[in-house]
Amino acid sequence: MTIQLLENQIFGKSAVNQKIKRVYPTEKAMDIYPQLHEYEQKQSDFLLSNLSTEEIAQLKQLMAKLKY
């Protein structure tokens, strides 16, 4: 193996695109993930609280069309 391939494996770099770097959560981040997920869910519920069922369905359709 070349040094470049070893570095890619160790540091999580993409062999195809050197600009891409994979980032993995730390143990501390994994510990608070449930709290972050709960917060995100509450915020989503709050943001959608004034929309009707039809408006939420329309929003889902529009979001599905977005490219990201």
Looking at this protein, which amino acid is placed at residue 44? Answer: S
pLDDT class for 67, splitting at 50, 70, 90? confident
pTM: 0.54
User: DSSP code of 61?
Assistant: H
Rounded to whole angstroms, how far apart are CA atoms 4 and 10? 10
Tell me: the pLDDT tens digits for 9-60? 666 666 566 777 888 899 999 999 999 999 999 999 999 999 999 999 999 9
**CA dihedral angle for residue 32, residue 33, residue 36, residue 38, rounded to 10 degrees:** -110
Rounded-to-integer distance, Cα 8 and Cα 50, Å: 48
Q: How many helices (H) and strands (E) does the chain have?
A: 3, 0
Structure tokens at 66: 């977005």
